[in-house]
Amino acid sequence: MAGTTPPPPPDNSNIQGLLIRGYTHPYSCHLLFSFQAASVTLNTKDFFAELYPKVQSAVDWGNNKPVSMLNIGLTFNGLSMLGVTQPNSTFPAEFQQGPWSSASQQSLGDFNASSPDNWWYNNFSNTALHCVVHAYGLTNDALNDLISFITNAALANGLTELLPIKDGDGRLYQSIIDDNPAKIHFGYVDGISEPALSMPSNHSSRNQADLDNFLIGYPQYSIIDPSPSGDASTNSEAKFAFDGFYNAFRILYQDVAGFDNFLIAQATNPNNVAKLAYLGLNQDELVEWFAAKLVGRWRNGSPLVLSPNAPDPATAKSENFGYATAGVPSPNQDVPSSFKCPFSAHTRVSNPRDQTLTPGEGNLGPVRIVRRGMSYGKELIGNTDDGVDRGLIGLFLCGSIAQQFEKLYGWMNYNNFSPKPDFSVKNPPQDALLGNRPTAPNLTNYPGVVSTFTIPIQNPATPDQPDSIVISGLPEFIQTRGTAYCLMPSLNALNYLATGVMA
């Protein structure tokens, strides 16, 4: 890439496939490693050489789905150990400093039990994590064979495996909930509402959902201009990062018993029952109604905007909807939809679609990330906590950690991205599901934030008298167990680590 000459369109064979497609392999394990200073220059090359043939690119596999495959991510500390980074690095500050930095924590808000000081159960330090290998298998045997292959290569070449959780053997295995790999422990189907990353032969029409905003090295077309920027023919970091992308790798414990009992408490609250009597729902149905209001979708995936009264298989994966109401003057055009989907429902916060945004928060529409999530830990039977570590393995893929991942996380912790009457400017709420509820002395990070969740309701019999259910003291359903910012290098860059030669 020389001068200002536009690069050619991205090449699928040079991109790690995790970005382009959601793998449907039902078995996965996410292995964490640390490089050792005494062996890094000699042995890591052999480690990458052994793994490289099994790295899955974005090339369409057609009907020949691989039995097993892997992808590789590297932290900034890992890249530094490998000699990839420069003294005055052009990689973005948030990637260099890590998610535990004070700057990143302004958005992530990992307080109290979620504090970076507690990550990984203190089995290792945040800075010791250098490499994450994501392994996938069509069968459990295929996955176990691949895990043995990876760990044997690591052991033979001086890498140390890091164990991030307390249960089992300490590794992050995907678990299957209710016989459905797409479900999370809270019972919702996940993996809906992903950007459609196209690969056209030209760049004549681009938008925020296009691949240019997720891959590094295409500033001519990218809205976010992901870095490190510069001429890849002269900037070695830019050359290494070209066709790569970032992965905010985040492990989130889910308090399933607390969540289930919270829903039951709301469905049996006499005040709530009285206000919702017009719906004619029994207790179990009210539990599902509250679960849908917290997230913005029914647990089968049906969006409340399209299916406000009950889940519908016909709308389970529907994406063609918005929150603005035609014919209603701005800024009030978003209000009518709140009777179907509350403003602070999780899916509405993470993707407000056509909802009015505060100037500067999204002049070109909401930013997007690609999510590849899967559950870990044994499924909870009943609604009594059994002490098992369970939750979500989140792979949040983007071209800019700060402008995509951290921006959206900031929205979830501080709902101030839309003007009145959507949110209170002085007392903004949080994402109903993922908000990290601050307590003293952490209130200064989110001045005025409240832990109330408002569900607007409108009885058809009295449409001119809208009401609401206000839940005070919304619990913290999720705790952060660990986070790492990784670069997912191109196949060319991984080949360089394996051979010492950059194509």
Q: What is the pLDDT of residue 2?
A: 45
Question: To the nearest 10°, the Cα dihedral for 294, 297, 301, 307?
Answer: 150
Q: What is the pLDDT of residue 206?
A: 65
- The answer on 69 and 159 residing in a single domain is yes
- Could you tell me whether strands 370-376 and 27-34 are parallel, antiparallel, or unpaired per DSSP bridges? unpaired
For the segment 165-213, what is each residue's pLDDT rounded down to a tens digit?
999 999 999 999 988 888 999 999 988 888 878 656 566 666 677 888 8
Query: What distances in angstroms separate CA 393 from CA 167, 214, 401, 425, 434, one per listed residue?
Result: 15, 20, 18, 33, 14
Q: Which helix (H) or strand (E) holds 411?
A: helix 407-413
For the segment 54-93, what is each residue's pLDDT rounded down to a tens digit?
999 999 998 999 999 999 999 999 999 999 998 899 999 9
- The answer on 171 and 56 residing in a single domain is yes
Mean pLDDT of the chain: 90
- Could you tell me whether strands 172-173 and 160-162 are parallel, antiparallel, or unpaired per DSSP bridges? unpaired
253 pLDDT higher than 80? yes
Examine residue 383 and state whether it is found in any structural domain, yes or no: no
The pTM for the full model equals 0.94
- The answer on 261 and 242 residing in a single domain is no
For the segment 11-47, what is each residue's pLDDT rounded down to a tens digit?
999 999 999 988 989 999 999 999 987 556 557 899 9
Examine residue 408 and state whether it is found in any structural domain, yes or no: no
Q: By three-state DSSP, how is residue 428 classified?
A: coil
234 pLDDT higher than 70? no
Examine residue 288 and state whether it is found in any structural domain, yes or no: yes
Structure tokens at 50: 């052994």
For the segment 84-141, what is each residue's pLDDT rounded down to a tens digit?
998 899 999 999 999 999 999 999 999 889 999 999 999 999 999 999 999 999 999 9
Q: Which helix (H) or strand (E) holds 240?
A: helix 236-241
- The answer on 432 and 285 residing in a single domain is yes
Query: pLDDT class for 1, splitting at 50, 70, 90?
Result: very low
Examine residue 392 and state whether it is found in any structural domain, yes or no: no
User: How far is Cα 440 from Cα 442, in angstroms, rounded to an integer?
Assistant: 5
294 pLDDT higher than 90? yes
For the segment 322-357, what is each residue's pLDDT rounded down to a tens digit?
999 888 877 788 999 999 999 999 999 999 999 989
What's the domain range around 317? Answer: 255-357+415-477
Examine residue 110 and state whether it is found in any structural domain, yes or no: yes
| CB neighbour list of residue 177: distance below 8 Å, 6 or more residues apart | 183, 184, 185, 187, 375, 379
Examine residue 330 and state whether it is found in any structural domain, yes or no: yes
Looking at the structure of the chain, the number of domains it has is: 2
- The answer on 490 and 440 residing in a single domain is no
For the segment 5-19, what is each residue's pLDDT rounded down to a tens digit?
656 778 999 999 999
- The answer on 176 and 51 residing in a single domain is yes
- The answer on 78 and 157 residing in a single domain is yes
Examine residue 363 and state whether it is found in any structural domain, yes or no: no
Q: Three-class SS string for 123-172?
A: CCCHHHCCEEEEEEECCHHHHHHHHHHHHHHHHHCCCEEECCCCCCCCCE
- The answer on 331 and 192 residing in a single domain is no
User: How far is Cα 35 from Cα 44, in angstroms, rounded to an integer?
Assistant: 8
Structure tokens at 279: 């719906």
- The answer on 331 and 290 residing in a single domain is yes
* Mean pLDDT, residues 357-381: 87
- The answer on 269 and 178 residing in a single domain is no
- The answer on 151 and 259 residing in a single domain is no
- The answer on 112 and 208 residing in a single domain is yes
DSSP secondary structure of 91-116 = S-HHHHH-TTSHHHHHHH---GGG-G
Structure tokens at 31: 């292995």
Structure tokens at 105: 């924590």
Examine residue 446 and state whether it is found in any structural domain, yes or no: yes
Q: What is the pLDDT of residue 330?
A: 74
